[in-house]
Amino acid sequence: MNGGKSRVVGLRVTWSRSLGDADQALYDTFVDGSPHGAYPQASAYAQLGTAGRAFSPRFFLARNGSGDVIGSALVLRARGPLRLPLPAAVVERGPVCALSDLRQVLDALHAKARSRGILRLSVMPYFADDEAVKAEAILGDAGFSVDHAFSSAHARTVRVQLTGKAKGAIFAGKDGQAVRQKANGAQKAGATARKGGPEDVAALQAMYATMMEDQRRPTKSAEYFDALRTHLRRSPDRAALFLTEHQGDVVSAAFITKHGAIATYVMGASSSDEREFTKAAPTFVAAAEWALEQGCAVFDLGGIPMEGDTDPKRLSIASFKSKFAKTPTTLVREHVIWL
């Protein structure tokens, strides 16, 4: 069964494996236009978000009595052997809705998931700072509980503000001094950054695999990197890959996505060999300049550890990112409800 429409808690709800042309247009328009939309909720990201993972996508839309969309979600339904659905689902950085609509959208999503045999539903709406606090209170009232570990999807990040900045001067002034020093040091050493293409994904894949091996953690699947190549080809307005090269070698790479006015660092890696400069600095500067050219107001550096986290690798990453922006942004933590 591919899904359909029904009335749930006063809303008209669509839940489907795929959307028809009209609903697809409604979904994309709503998510792309929402200030609380995020790249994992974009329909263009569905293939990449499920590649090499034991999930299959479901699309959720909630309309009010006037027929206006007030909520949406790209739901990742867990699947087992033979691709059979399992009773668990995840909504990464969603559902998407206004804060004032969050409770009724959560209730509709909860009811619809339960009707589809889902017993465990995880959500993480994309609200920040004061709105994140209010959203977590609404989640609690709706029956969700915090299920967030230090290794969970990040709930703190740092953001570079781009509004009013000029290309080449994003990191001007005292606040950008550390970034300028690192970027200038790399330039003096002969390192250069450039925008890559699908053919450059292999370099990111190799460095990422080595990095994960050094940390004794599994790398991402070949299916993921194949999907990343496809995503870069199909969505050049939403995705970009940046690389830093030195003496003929790729020494750093980063995958960036754009959603609305926010560009976000999704993943990256640096080579394991020693260089006399900070290898990722030119990569991030180039990514920030691309985000500015794309009209973004914010370059989100993709997460820093929660307070109290003592993992040395995550703290090292946070130390590097703090050179770009000092003030953390707090996001909604992962919340779960058992249905």
Non-local CB neighbours of 72 within 8 Å, separated by 6+ positions? 27, 30, 31, 41, 59, 60, 61, 62, 94, 95, 96, 97
Q: Decide if 136 contacts 146 (C-beta within 8 A).
A: yes
Q: In degrees, to the nearest 5, what angle opens at C-alpha 240 toward C-alphas 238 and 244?
A: 165
Question: How far is 155 from 139, CA to CA, in rounded Å?
Answer: 15
Give the model's pLDDT for residue 168: 87
Answer whether 120's CB lies under 8 Å from 104's CB. no
107, 122, 184, 223, 285 from 320: Cα distances, Å: 40, 30, 16, 30, 13
Q: In the structure encoding, which two tokens stand for residue 124, read together?
A: 């993480």
Domains belonging to the chain, first-starting first, are 3-150+333-338 (3.40.630.30), 163-296 (3.40.630.30)
User: How far apart, in whole angstroms, are the C-alpha atoms of residue 167 and residue 289?
Assistant: 6
Sequence letter at residue 309: D
The pLDDT, as a whole number, for residue 269 is 95
Q: Are 37 and 96 in contact (CB under 8 A)?
A: yes
Identify any residues that bridge with 250 across adjacent strands, giving them in sequence order. 245
Q: Which one-letter amino acid corresponds to residue 193?
A: A
Q: Tell me the backbone φ, ψ of residue 15, rounded to 5 degrees.
A: -135, 115
d(CA 51, CA 45): 10
What b/e readout covers 261-282, taking b as 16+ CB neighbours within 10 angstroms?
Answer: ebbbbbebbbbeeebebbbbbb
List C-alpha distances in Å: 332 to 102, 119, 128, 306: 13, 22, 7, 12
pLDDT value at residue 97: 98
Closest residue by Cα to residue 50 from 8, 17, 10: 17
In whole angstroms, give the CA distance from residue 94 to residue 145.
15
At 2 the pLDDT is 46
Cα gap 195→264, rounded to integer Å: 15
Phi-psi bin for 133: left (phi > 0), alpha (psi -120 to 50), beta? Answer: alpha
Beta bridge partners of 273: none
**What is the structure's pLDDT at 9?**
57
What is the Cα–Cα distance from 339 to 334, expressed in whole angstroms?
16
Q: How far apart are CA 184 and CA 282, in angstroms?
A: 9
How many residues does the structure list for the chain? 339
- The per-residue pLDDT string of the chain (339 residues; one tens digit each, 9 = 90 and over) reads 345 555 555 799 999 999 999 999 999 999 999 999 999 999 999 999 999 999 999 999 999 999 999 999 999 999 998 788 899 999 999 999 999 999 999 999 999 999 999 999 999 999 999 999 999 999 999 999 999 888 888 999 999 999 999 988 999 888 899 999 999 999 999 999 999 999 999 999 999 999 999 888 899 999 999 999 999 999 999 999 999 999 999 999 999 999 999 999 999 999 999 999 999 999 999 999 999 999 999 999 988 888 888 888 888 888 888 889 888 999 999 999 997
Our CA angle for 46, 36, 143, nearest 5°, is: 90
What six digits make up the tokens of 254?
């980063």
pLDDT for residue 105: 97
Global pTM value: 0.91
| Joined tokens for residue 107 | 């209730």
